[in-house]
């Protein structure tokens, strides 16, 4: 197990290095930050000084090494646009995104699993067909379109819910949260719903497939033969058995949802990381782009690493031989 762990950690480090090089070269290719930093009518001297201060006169590989050095020390530099340390900027936006993502994934799971289980339990009923229709729709309709329709219906036509922003927040341990106030919850509802529809469709499919397989299995037959009520068979035995793939997908989807929040946050002006990255791409704010990409890469590598470790702990075959 230890050898496996070391191997995986080394792999993660190599991947992280490769990504840092890609991000550096990629972001380097986007526009010229000098044009953003300095107004065109300053003297040539100031211009050269600024270029030297940011190290843009160095060769590319030297800039990359300096970049790596700062990265290791968790120094992402200052945002060109906000003129504050990038790390502070990102940390100040992270809670909003986490809140939105968590609400979306939790909502999708809590709603999708029972719906999917029902659709698997009675596959031919009309309700099940409606549920499966909903899931195909959830897969097909782009996220931004769902957001637009929800805004049109609930914000413009009915006027029940706000179309954007985060509403009033309550600080806990120095971090602002929306879900603790009625107004904040109102603001959270539409974006969370938008973000969750795809996840909902996925959860419905997973739970349905698991249910259809489980219902034919021996343990269900034996549980029934034992005289257990259908509720106990489904709620006790089947739910436990189909929860393993659901928990896995829940973990993997959490990362993907964090990435998809980019679109939802832009539509609803939700002041999170996703809106920050889109604004940064448009204003060529390089330090923010780099930090965001490295953060997301790190997050995904961590998630995959943990999933690998969890599988290895559960399945001894993965630890030995070919890894």
Partner 1 sequence: MTDRSTPLGRFWSEFRENRIALVALWVVVVISALAVLAPLYAPQDPYDIGKLVLTDARRPPGHVGVGGYTYWLGTDAQGRDLLSAILYGLRISVQIGIAAGAIAFAVGGTMGAVAAFLGGRTEILIMRFVDMQLSFPAILLALVLSAVLGQGKWQLIAALVAAQYAYFARTAHGAASAERAKEYIEAALSTPLSSRAVVFRHLLPNCMPPLIVVATVQVANSIALEATLSFLGLGLPVTEPSLGMLIANGFQYMLSGRYWISIYPGVALIVLILAINLVGDQIRDQLNPRLKR
Neighbours of 184 (CB within 10 A): 20
Cβ closer to partner 1: 15 or 81?
Answer: 15
3-class DSSP state for residue 83? coil
Q: Which stretch binds partner 1 (CB under 8 A): 25-33, 117-125, 174-182, 228-236?
A: 25-33
Q: Closest by alpha carbon to 111, among 48, 192, 166?
A: 192
User: Residue 216 and residue 184: Cα distance in Å, rounded?
Assistant: 45
Q: What is the DSSP letter of 272?
A: S
Given a contact cutoff of 8 angstroms between Cβ atoms, the answer to whether 144 and 236 are in contact is: no
Report in angstroms the alpha-carbon separations of 81 from 116, 284, 287.
46, 9, 10
Which span sits near partner 1 by CB under 8 A: 57-65, 95-103, 108-116, 294-302? 294-302
144 binds partner 1 (CB under 8 A): yes
- What residues from 244 to 273 belong to the interface with partner 1 (CB under 8 A)? 255-256, 259-260, 262-263, 266-267
Please tell me whether residue 131 binds partner 1 under the rule CB under 8 A: no
Q: Under rule CB under 8 A, which residues in 159-198 are in contact with partner 1?
A: 163
- The least distance separating partner 1 from the CB of residue 15, rounded to whole angstroms, comes to 6
Distances (CA, A) of 267 to 14, 90, 158, 179, 183: 36, 20, 18, 19, 19
- Shortest gap between Cβ of 281 and partner 1 (angstroms)? 5
Q: How many residues bind partner 1 (CB under 8 A)?
A: 41
For residue 98, state whether it binds partner 1 (rule: CB under 8 A).
Answer: no
Per CB under 8 A, the list member of 71, 134, 281, 294 interacting with partner 1 is 281
Region 198-237 residues binding partner 1, contact defined as CB under 8 A: none
Which residues partner with 170 through β-bridges?
Answer: 177
Instruction: Report the alpha-carbon distance of residue 25 to residue 19 in Å, rounded.
Output: 10
Residue of 307, 108, 101 lying closest to 206 (CA atoms) = 108
**Which residue, 193 or 233, is less far from partner 1 as judged by CB?**
193
H-only helix segments in 76-215: 86-121, 126-140, 143-150, 182-215
Strand partners, 85: 78
Identity of the residue, 22 or 180, whose beta carbon is nearer to partner 1 in the bound complex: 22
| Radius of gyration for the alpha carbons in the chain, expressed in angstroms and rounded | 24
Contact characters 26-55, partner 1, x per CB under 8 A:
xx-xx-------------------------
Taking the complex as a whole, the smallest distance from the CB of residue 30 to partner 1 amounts, in Å, to 6
CB 269 within 8 A of CB 259: no
Whether residue 179 contacts residue 89, with contact meaning beta carbons closer than 8 Å, is answered with no
Distance in Å, CB of 205 to partner 1, minimum: 11
Chain residues binding partner 1 by CB under 8 A are 15, 26-27, 29-30, 136-137, 139-145, 148-149, 151-152, 155-156, 163, 255-256, 259-260, 262-263, 266-267, 277-278, 281-282, 289, 293, 296-297, 300-301, 303-304
């Amino acid at each position: 197990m230890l050898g496996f762990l070391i191997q995986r950690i080394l792999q993660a480090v190599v991947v992280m290095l490769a990504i840092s090089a890609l991000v550096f070269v990629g972001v380097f290719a986007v526009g010229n930050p000098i044009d953003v930093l300095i107004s065109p009518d300053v003297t040539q001297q100031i211009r050269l000084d600024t270029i030297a201060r940011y190290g843009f006169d160095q060769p590319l590989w030297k800039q990359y090494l300096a970049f790596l050095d700062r990265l290791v020390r968790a120094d992402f530099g200052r945002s060109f646009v906000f003129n504050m340390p990038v790390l502070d900027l990102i940390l100040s936006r992270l809670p909003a995104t986490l809140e939105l993502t968590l609400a979306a994934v939790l909502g999708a799971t809590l709603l999708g699993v029972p719906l999917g289980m029902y659709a698997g339990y009675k596959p031919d009923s009309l309700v099940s067909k409606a549920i499966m229709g909903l899931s195909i729709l959830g897969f097909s309709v782009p996220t931004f379109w769902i957001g637009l329709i929800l805004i049109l219906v609930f914000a413009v036509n009915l006027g029940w819910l706000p179309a954007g922003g985060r509403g009033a927040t309550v600080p806990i341990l120095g971090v602002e949260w929306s879900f603790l106030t009625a107004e904040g919850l109102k603001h959270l509802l539409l974006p969370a719903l938008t973000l969750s529809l795809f996840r909902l469709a996925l959860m419905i499919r997973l739970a349905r497939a698991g249910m259809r397989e489980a219902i034919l299995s021996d343990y269900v037959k034996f549980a029934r033969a034992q005289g257990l009520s259908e509720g106990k068979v489904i709620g006790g035995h089947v739910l436990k058995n189909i929860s393993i793939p659901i928990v896995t997908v829940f973990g993997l989807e959490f990362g993907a949802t964090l990435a998809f929040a980019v679109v939802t946050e832009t539509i609803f002006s939700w002041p999170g990381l996703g809106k920050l990255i889109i604004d940064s791409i448009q204003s060529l704010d390089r330090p923010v782009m780099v930090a965001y990409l490295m953060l997301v890469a790190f997050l995904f590598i961590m998630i995959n690493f943990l999933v690998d470790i969890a599988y290895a702990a559960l399945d001894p075959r993965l630890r030995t031989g070919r890894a």
